[in-house]
Structure 1
Amino acid sequence: MTETQWNSFCTFRDSFRKKVEEWSAFSQTLMPLQKAAAQDKTPPYPIETPIVYNRALDEITQDDDIKLIVIGDNPGKDEQLLKNNKYLVGQAGKIAAGFFARNPEFSVDFRKNAIILNKTPVHSAKTAQLKYIQKNGGEEIRMLIEESQIWMAEKTAALLKSLETTELWLVGYSELKEKGLFTLYKNALEAACRNDRAWNRIFVFQHFSMNRFSIDLAGFQKNHADFSLQQAVHALGTLHKAEIFTQN
């Protein structure tokens, strides 16, 4: 990163850490909601970090070549464990890392060349359980989840603009649709980037979990056999982007 880019990243990272500390005032309210939400089809597990800052950001140095910003949904069971407090370290993250390891043409080490963020740092065992938490947490929790999405989108947009060649991969297609969990994030990101060159570096994909990204990509490649892998990824990400956002 250049000096300017490094300063922009540090500003983002430090403000994100401080914001999570601020939001963590709601942890005692969130924890019983997270436990109750997880009772549906989720084996018992210890809730250790109700709102999760990604400690992997602290390992990034100015010498790192950041090629991607990858936006997942929210921290799950593995991510919120105190021994981790890092994003996409569960099965979905392993699938993502494996994809790039198998395809060296992207020149991406998922743990070295990607900044991994979420649409909200509020934990739930499964993303869909955020609906329960938001519905049953009262006005302050509803506002927390909404505010965190808008804040993350706006700050991430500013970071993307400063990293002039970095792509942003927005994964988790279904909950970005109208009335989905993350429409606020989508709308705030669009408002911040639509009229900027950074807009052309945003791509939308199915989530890495349960191999949905790979299955979707394989289906697309069947109909576009003349595309290289990188061309297919960019074309698919552009197609989903047009489907998700308000304007083509």
Structure 2
Amino acid sequence: MTQVEWAAFSAFREAFRRQAESWNRDFAAELAPLQRRAAERDTPPYPLETPVVYNAALDEVRAEDAVRLIIVGDNPGKDEQRAHNRRYLVGQAGKLGDGFFRARPELGIDYRRDAVILNKTPVHSAKTAHLRAVIRDGSPAVRRLVQESQLFMAEQTARLHHALCGSGCMLWLVGYAELKPHGIFSEYRDALLRAYERGAASAWSRVLVFQHFSQNRFSVDLKGFCGGTVPADGTLAQRLFELGTRHKAKIFEHTAR
């Protein structure tokens, strides 16, 4: 990273760390029972250790690293909130994402070295859909937390991407369904667009939208878009850009401006 890019990344990382620690300190006692109760419907018991999760992998990024891709997932799941992890996309979905890039070296991206992984909110739930129950059953303060965390992450992520896009950094929003109107992350979607329009417009063309890696939806969608076979040559990057742009247009076409 250049000095300017490193300064921007360091500022983002510190702001995110402080905010996540503050939310965890203030809301963990109230969040944890809600998160456990939401998971009871369809998830085996698991140790709930971190109700609000900062991505500790960010602490391993150094000034000499090149951030070529920002991947924005949904929210931390069971594996991500474990105390020995506290990292994003380390469960099955993360393994699928890692495998996609490993199998396609022509993209020139090491998933764990060249990509920064963020989420639309750091508030944990075993499954993303469980956030609806957390919001529904929580106090007004918890509902505001889920909303404010999305606004915070959208604004901070747009600012970071704008600082890094001069070196060619792309941003992938993975997780199509909950960005739609009335989706869990529709407020994130709206806040993200406002942030780009307000101060990061030059980076907007480098934002793409995809299906989530979870359950192999990303690869299935890409394969279908490519006519049944994902290209294994220099055309893959262009096909990804076309697919991500198509999804972006559909997701953001009804967003209020």
What range is the shorter-chain TM-score in? over 0.9
Is the partner of 2:78 in helix, strand or coil?
A: coil
> Aligned residues, how many?
248
Equivalent residues in 2 for 1:41-80 (5 A)?
A: 41-80=42-81
Identical amino acids, percent of aligned pairs: 52
1:246 aligns with 2:253: yes
Instruction: Read off the aligned partner of 1:212 and give its amino acid letter.
Output: R
Displacement of 1:223 in angstroms is 7.5
Given the alignment, which residue of 231, 237, 241 partners 1:230?
A: 237
Supply the distance in 2 between the matched residues of 1:77 and 1:97 (Cα, whole angstroms).
18
Displacement of 1:109 in angstroms is 0.7
Contact 1:224 1:232 in 2 (8 A): no
TM-score under structure 1 length normalisation: 0.97
Instruction: Identify unmatched segments of 5+ residues in structure 2.
Output: none
Query: 1:190 maps to what in 2?
Result: 193
Query: 1:38 maps to what in 2?
Result: 39
Query: 1:19 maps to what in 2?
Result: 19
Supply the distance in 2 between the matched residues of 1:109 and 1:103 (Cα, whole angstroms).
10
When structure 1 is superposed on structure 2, of 200-209 and 223-232 the one drifting more is: 223-232
Is the partner of 1:95 in helix, strand or coil?
A: helix
After TM superposition, the runs of 4+ consecutive aligned structure 1 residues lying more than 3 A away are 223-227
Output one character per residue of 1:51-72: Cα deviation in whole Å (capped at 9) or x when no partner: 0000000000011111100000
Specify whether residues 56 and 41 from structure 1 end up closer, same or farther in structure 2 by C-alpha distance, changes over 3 A only. Answer: same
Displacement of 1:40 in angstroms is 1.0
Supply the distance in 2 between the matched residues of 1:11 and 1:230 (Cα, whole angstroms).
30
Supply the distance in 2 between the matched residues of 1:219 and 1:93 (Cα, whole angstroms).
21
Displacement of 1:232 in angstroms is 1.0
1:221 aligns with 2:226: yes
Supply the distance in 2 between the matched residues of 1:140 and 1:76 (Cα, whole angstroms).
22
Output one character per residue of 1:27-77: Cα deviation in whole Å (capped at 9) or x when no partner: 000000000000011000010000000000000001111110000000000
Given the alignment, which residue of 174, 190, 204 partners 2:177?
A: 174
Supply the distance in 2 between the matched residues of 1:236 and 1:246 (Cα, whole angstroms).
15
Query: 2:10 maps to what in 1?
Result: 10
Contact 2:17 2:54 in 1 (8 A): yes
Instruction: Read off the aligned partner of 1:213 and give its amino acid letter.
Output: F
Specify whether residues 44 and 223 from structure 1 end up closer, same or farther in structure 2 by C-alpha distance, changes over 3 A only. Answer: closer
Supply the distance in 1 between the matched residues of 2:85 and 2:62 (Cα, whole angstroms).
19
When structure 1 is superposed on structure 2, of 215-224 and 29-38 the one drifting more is: 215-224
Displacement of 1:246 in angstroms is 2.8
Contact 2:209 2:245 in 1 (8 A): yes
Supply the distance in 1 between the matched residues of 2:90 and 2:54 (Cα, whole angstroms).
13
RMSD: 1.6
Equivalent residues in 2 for 1:93-172 (5 A)?
A: 93-164=94-165, 165-172=168-175
Instruction: Read off the aligned partner of 1:34 and give its amino acid letter.
Output: Q
Is the partner of 1:169 in helix, strand or coil?
A: strand
Output one character per residue of 1:72-107: Cα deviation in whole Å (capped at 9) or x when no partner: 000000000000000000000000000000001111
